[in-house]
Amino acid sequence: MVVLANPSVVDQIPLLPSPGHRDTFAAVPVVDLSRPGAARAIVDACERFGFFKVINHGVATATMDRAESEAVKFFAQAQAVKDRAGPAYPPFGYGSKRIGLNGDMGWLEFLLLAVDSASLSDACTVPSSAVFRAALNEYVAAVRGVAVRVLEKMAEGLGIAPVDALSAMVTEQGSDQVFRVNHYPPCPAFQGLGCSATGFGEHTDPQLISVLRSNGTSGLQIALRDGAQWVSVPSDRDAFFVNVGDSLQVLTNGRFKSVKHRVVTNSLKSRVSFIYFAGPSLAQRIAPLPELLGEGEEILYKEFTWGEYKKAAYKTRLGDNRLAQFEK
Ligand SMILES: C=C1C[C@]23C[C@@]1(O)CC[C@H]2[C@@]12CC[C@H](O)[C@@](C)(C(=O)O1)[C@H]2[C@@H]3C(=O)O
Ligand SMILES: O=C(O)CCC(=O)C(=O)O
Ligand SMILES: [Fe+2]
């Protein structure tokens, strides 16, 4: 007989097939940010998968380790203490199991935080520990630097001038940057049954790009062939993983794919991930960049601002196709 750890809660979380060795995505595109071919490699990966791994990014291991160990300490606190840092919605803070406001549930707890310029927004006092905050601020400044370099290389690879054509959307005053720390505790309830609890259900990220770093526990999966196949991304705690978001799909008129991804929980090990979501200012117009349109190329999307898209996105469920309502 299988005894569920806490049936009332686990029962509300959808199940996914447990990943097997054959699902491993060994061919994750790897972009070496220190090499001249990076720009071309980024464009190629964004066209093929909307996803790639970044190595030789220059971020100190100590910066990543410090942020991770402080996050582990935060999540190890008593539930009542963590709840004082919540709720996550609206608009920022600690949350557990509920993702968004529309009924999505996952086997995780998280901190959802606003970023102003290159550090956590002072308007949000969570997390309150000065040591944790300092560690996250150092990490956020570094990962934002990686996002900016990736967007610069992307512009170069796409042949768009100036070099900051894309990155300026993130560095300009008022850009809408979000930082998320996810903790997926082990979920042994379904061990041996061929299924696992969903950590974070399938979705695309609405922003331009997201830059993810996790501890050594795998769980992230991406969809290939328009969702026909799910593959597991081998974890690499020294690398960053970049997702193309919906807004970048629109700016490139569908040339770059906003990648569907999800997280499957591990029955024995906990996963800790940091995700920096690079969004533009609310007023930023999101429409295919004229420089990227071929002669006579059909424009696939109605025009909108990031603010309009974000508002619409927050009314949707996680797995919804949020861009559908903006297609022509
Ligand atoms: C169900 C939801 C959670 C989300 C807002 C939404 O209504 C649809 C988009 C979701 C998402 C996915 C990527 C990021 O984790 C996130 C912060 C974002 O910008 O869009 C989440 C939203 C959230 O958790 O608030
Ligand atoms: O935690 C992860 O590894 C991915 C989570 C994610 O996709 C998200 O927070 O949008
Ligand atoms: Fe995501």
pLDDT at 4: 43
Ligand 1 binding pocket includes 93 (Cβ within 6 Å): no
Is it true that the peptide bond before 14 is cis, omega within 30 degrees of 0?
no
Q: What is the mean pLDDT of residues 295-301?
A: 97
List, in sequence order, every residue forming a beta bridge with 17; answer none if it has no partner.
195
Q: What is the mean pLDDT of residues 291-304?
A: 96
pLDDT at 67: 98
Expressed in angstroms and rounded, the spacing between residue 327 Cα and the centre of ligand 1 is 20
pLDDT tens digits, residue range 164-200?
A: 999 999 999 999 999 999 999 999 989 999 999 999 9
pLDDT at 11: 84
> Tokens 């974000």 appear where?
310
pLDDT at 8: 66
Q: CA 321, CA 53: separation in Å to the nearest integer?
A: 25
In angstroms, what CA-CA distances link 158 with 38, 58, 245, 246?
A: 12, 23, 17, 17
Q: In this structure, is residue 11 part of a structural domain?
A: no
Ligand nearest to the CA of 113: 1
Which among 94, 113, 95, 97 is positioned nearest to 13, based on CA atoms? 97
Q: In this structure, is residue 260 part of a structural domain?
A: yes
Ligand 2 binding pocket includes 154 (Cβ within 6 Å): no
Expressed in angstroms and rounded, the spacing between residue 63 Cα and the centre of ligand 2 is 20
DSSP state of 123: T
Ligand 2 binding pocket includes 212 (Cβ within 6 Å): yes
Domain of 126, CATH number, reads 2.60.120.330
Ligand nearest to the CA of 241: 2
Type of residue numbered 42: I
pLDDT at 211: 99
Ligand 1, atom 23, lies closest to the CA of 100
Expressed in angstroms and rounded, the spacing between residue 222 Cα and the centre of ligand 3 is 10
Ligand 2 binding pocket includes 275 (Cβ within 6 Å): yes
Expressed in angstroms and rounded, the spacing between residue 318 Cα and the centre of ligand 1 is 7
Overall pTM surpassing 0.90 (yes/no): yes
Instruction: Judge whether residue 7 has pLDDT over 60.
Output: no
- Listing DSSP states for 152-199 in one string gives HHHHHHHT-SSTTTTTHHHHSTTEEEEEEEEEE---GGGTTTTEEEEE
Q: In this structure, is residue 8 part of a structural domain?
A: no
As given in the structure block, the two tokens for residue 263 are 């997280």
Give the residue numbers spanning the domain of 105: 17-326
Ligand 2 binding pocket includes 286 (Cβ within 6 Å): no
Ligand 1, atom 16, lies closest to the CA of 205
Instruction: Judge whether residue 5 has pLDDT over 90.
Output: no
Give yes or no for a contact between 31 and 38, defined as CB atoms under 8 angstroms apart.
yes
Atom of ligand 2 nearest to the CA of 180: 9
Ligand 2, atom 10, lies closest to the CA of 205
pLDDT at 1: 39
pLDDT tens digits, residue range 197-239?
A: 999 999 999 999 999 999 999 999 999 988 889 999 999 999 9
Q: In this structure, is residue 47 part of a structural domain?
A: yes
Q: CA 109, CA 104: separation in Å to the nearest integer?
A: 13
Atom of ligand 1 nearest to the CA of 200: 15
Strand order through the sheet with 195-203: 15-17, 195-203, 261-264, 220-224, 229-232
Q: In this structure, is residue 1 part of a structural domain?
A: no
Which among 302, 235, 311, 310 is positioned nearest to 277, based on CA atoms? 310
In angstroms, what CA-CA distances link 189 with 76, 127, 163, 182, 185?
A: 20, 31, 50, 20, 12
Ligand 1 binding pocket includes 100 (Cβ within 6 Å): yes
- How much of the chain exceeds pLDDT 90, in percent? 93
Instruction: Judge whether residue 161 has pLDDT over 80.
Output: yes
Q: In this structure, is residue 2 part of a structural domain?
A: no
Q: How many domains does the chain have?
A: 1
pLDDT at 9: 76
pLDDT tens digits, residue range 11-63?
A: 889 999 999 999 999 999 999 999 999 999 999 999 999 999 999 999 999 99
- How much of the chain exceeds pLDDT 70, in percent? 98
Q: At what angle do helices 38-48 and 130-158 cross, to 10 degrees?
A: 90
As given in the structure block, the two tokens for residue 131 are 């040591």
pLDDT at 228: 87
Ligand nearest to the CA of 313: 1
Instruction: Give every CB contact of residue 274 below 8 A, 6+ residues apart in sequence.
Output: 67, 68, 71, 139, 143, 179, 180, 181, 182, 212, 213, 214
Ligand nearest to the CA of 101: 1
pLDDT tens digits, residue range 97-148?
A: 999 999 999 999 999 999 999 999 999 999 999 999 999 999 999 999 999 9
- Please give the helix or strand (H or E) that residue 212 lies within, else none: strand 209-214
pLDDT at 3: 41
Q: In this structure, is residue 5 part of a structural domain?
A: no
Q: In this structure, is residue 7 part of a structural domain?
A: no
